[in-house]
A and B are shown apart, each in its own frame.
Chain A
């Protein structure tokens, strides 16, 4: 809420003082470049009260320790995410698993950059209605396995908005939303990450109008076992540009994204009700769209490893499948005249592909059949009737108002 007029604000302050209620929202400005900038900024993030703005000065902040915010309804605003803006530089980071951790609700992060963190860039956990807006999270040396895992990393949250964010160099996922509900990722750019954008173990997400380029895999929709929230479903991936995702996989082995084949556009694994539509695909060496089951051994009886009700429609397909980076892929491509079709399905679960392009099935009827028994053949997945279209995600008005 904004109060026009100084006199009005002053009156409010006096009233607040007498009623011991919350004071009017204030702005706490913190300067970059002072020797105690790290401590002063952290202090501001602790002393901020609901409604306050922590204003980051322009310049480069040399930070040795991770920052954290645990006060609800606070805005952290910088002077810009690009050159001349507010650059939080963690190249000399000595502690904490991320650059900035948010654990409170209704927080807006906007107009600053976080670079070269040792672990994740910006993480928010249990932070409902969080807005990431006009941010840059970057590992400036480009793709390296020594880079941190996630760029922006909301997890266990309801209502998440990621808008106009740029992420480069994450050794796992640039934009990663995990175990959350009601999510919008839009107008963002993910480049030179292992996974550009990843929606994992989450419900109800719209991923649209993003550019995912030069990652190992552009946009991933995953579900993994043995986690508190699983059964990922209702995800729409639409009107994105997903091209040239041919960066060699540089994820540390063991992590699930280390198994993503270089040259992947969109990859859907073990989810139900996922719609991929209206995207522009080009130059993804393995496939523009891949639909697979979770094929690792697991001991979770509640886990559902198959993709179900996946719909692919109305996408533009440029060149794809010319360098399939999975075992035996090269041989299949050679046998098919140099490239495999742009849509690849492992044969488990069910999918509907209405795009007028070829689909290659590996004919692995379930996740137990070993990959060595793959019998790749073209299939037609256009005949089934798709389920009713998923509704658009609506976020609370308070969130949309913050980015207007």
Chain B
């Protein structure tokens, strides 16, 4: 059985493989084992000496991504030969043991576009493990930074604004703060309604339910959905990993999942719970028709750690995202309050 699976995987690789290079595969023993290797290369996920994932991995993007200081993210997924993630009717894949989700962060105009850090989310028999790696100066390998680190970077955002920030590579615990459900680590991004393989065949890794899963809109593409739905997609991706009844912000009572009803627990007319300075002297998270008195927006536009949301992963304001939410609140009928 295992041999057939391996042969099948090899055949698949050949079928899609334009590369004449040997068909390198990740080191499954390291992936499945208990170790936290000091070097990223130990996993064999990248072409040796580079930050380019092996062709055996499946690259993907998201319709609506999490904002991370305007970083460009390169995502790819690996599952061991023969393994496959069945996608539930809710769009959530059931990833097999041995899965690795790889996400590299960089800026096109910084350090020659080479990634600054790569985060791994590994599905081991014991559960998911999150490991942050920071790329070495020569760009050939990356080193484990379990406690995170601040790295000075400079870049321009799409509107031409120059930034010089102390970019925060999260520590292992902070990975979990966002990737937490009932106290366990889970992936956030790769759900069928948000995954985009840009035309590539994903059937080697995913098996889909018969029923089509409607995609989430692209937050910045009005053709992909209404203002309301694009704002909801933005909130779902940027906030709901914590703001759900089993997430890190469960105690706030603010729940922003794609499936949550847009009511008081979605912030509409919701008074601050434990916001402290985050209230900005305002009464409501979202005051319909009145973005200037909606502290959800105030927190999104702040860089003060005592005010800013999300609490981790942001040293810049996402102006375009805030503009979307401002318009959403401005156009919200006051009567819905």
The yes or no answer to B262 lying at the interface (CB within 8 A) is no
The yes or no answer to B177 lying at the interface (CB within 8 A) is yes
**Docked CA distance A246–B132 (Å):** 49
Min CB gap B194→A, angstroms: 26
* Interchain CB contact under 8 A, A95 and B305: yes
The yes or no answer to A188 lying at the interface (CB within 8 A) is no
Interface centre among B149, B276, B304 (most CB of A within 10 A): B276
* Interchain CB contact under 8 A, B276 and A120: yes
The yes or no answer to A380 lying at the interface (CB within 8 A) is no
**For residue B282, which residue of chain A has the nearest CB?**
A254
Q: Report A41-62 CB contacts with B as 1/0, cut-off 8 Å.
A: 0110111000000000000000
Contact of A149 among B264, B276, B280 (CB under 8 A): B276
Contact of A299 among B166, B269, B281 (CB under 8 A): B269
Min CB gap A91→B, angstroms: 12
Stretch at the interface among A171-179, A313-321, A343-351: A171-179
The yes or no answer to B176 lying at the interface (CB within 8 A) is yes
Using A149-B306, A255-B272 as known contacts, say yes or no to A46 and B173 having CB atoms under 8 A apart.
yes
* Interchain CB contact under 8 A, A97 and B311: yes
The yes or no answer to B147 lying at the interface (CB within 8 A) is yes
Q: Which of B236-282 contact A (CB under 8 A)?
A: 245, 248, 250-251, 253, 263-265, 269-282
* Interchain CB contact under 8 A, B280 and A47: no
The yes or no answer to A40 lying at the interface (CB within 8 A) is yes
* Interchain CB contact under 8 A, B276 and A256: no
Using A70-B173, A118-B305, A228-B253 as known contacts, say yes or no to A254 and B277 having CB atoms under 8 A apart.
no
**For residue B263, which residue of chain A has the nearest CB?**
A299
Chain A residues within 8 Å of B304, by CB: 118
Chain B residues within 8 Å of A101, by CB: 173, 177
* Interchain CB contact under 8 A, A145 and B183: no
Chain A residues within 8 Å of B263, by CB: 299
**For residue B145, which residue of chain A has the nearest CB?**
A39
A-B contact count (CB 8 A): 139
Min CB gap B314→A, angstroms: 8
The yes or no answer to A12 lying at the interface (CB within 8 A) is no
The yes or no answer to B172 lying at the interface (CB within 8 A) is yes
**For residue A68, which residue of chain B has the nearest CB?**
B173
Total interface residues in chain A, CB < 8 Å: 53
Total interface residues in chain B, CB < 8 Å: 46
Contact of B279 among A40, A45, A253 (CB under 8 A): A253
* Interchain CB contact under 8 A, B275 and A68: no
Using A103-B183, A227-B253, A299-B264 as known contacts, say yes or no to A64 and B150 having CB atoms under 8 A apart.
yes
Using A255-B272, A256-B271 as known contacts, say yes or no to A68 and B277 having CB atoms under 8 A apart.
no
**For residue A172, which residue of chain B has the nearest CB?**
B276
Contact of B251 among A38, A103, A155 (CB under 8 A): A155
**Docked CA distance A141–B288 (Å):** 37
Q: Report B293-316 CB contacts with A as 1/0, cut-off 8 Å.
A: 001000000001111000110010
**Docked CA distance A313–B149 (Å):** 55
Q: Report A121-163 CB contacts with B as 1/0, cut-off 8 Å.
A: 0000110000000000000000001101110010110000000
Contact of A254 among B147, B253, B281, B305 (CB under 8 A): B281
**Interface pairs (13), CB distance under 8 Å:** A42-B148, A42-B171, A46-B173, A47-B146, A70-B173, A96-B305, A103-B173, A149-B276, A155-B274, A178-B251, A226-B265, A228-B251, A299-B269
Binding site for B on A (CB under 8 A): 38-40, 42-43, 45-47, 64-66, 68-70, 93-97, 101, 103, 117-120, 125-126, 145-146, 148-150, 153, 155-156, 171-172, 176, 178-179, 224, 226-228, 252-256, 296, 298-300
In the A-B complex, list the 4 residue pairs whose CB atoms are closest, starting with the nearest: A149-B276, A254-B279, A118-B306, A42-B147
Given contacts A66-B305, A68-B174, A119-B306, 7 further A-B contacts (CB under 8 A): A65-B150, A94-B315, A103-B177, A126-B183, A252-B275, A252-B281, A300-B264
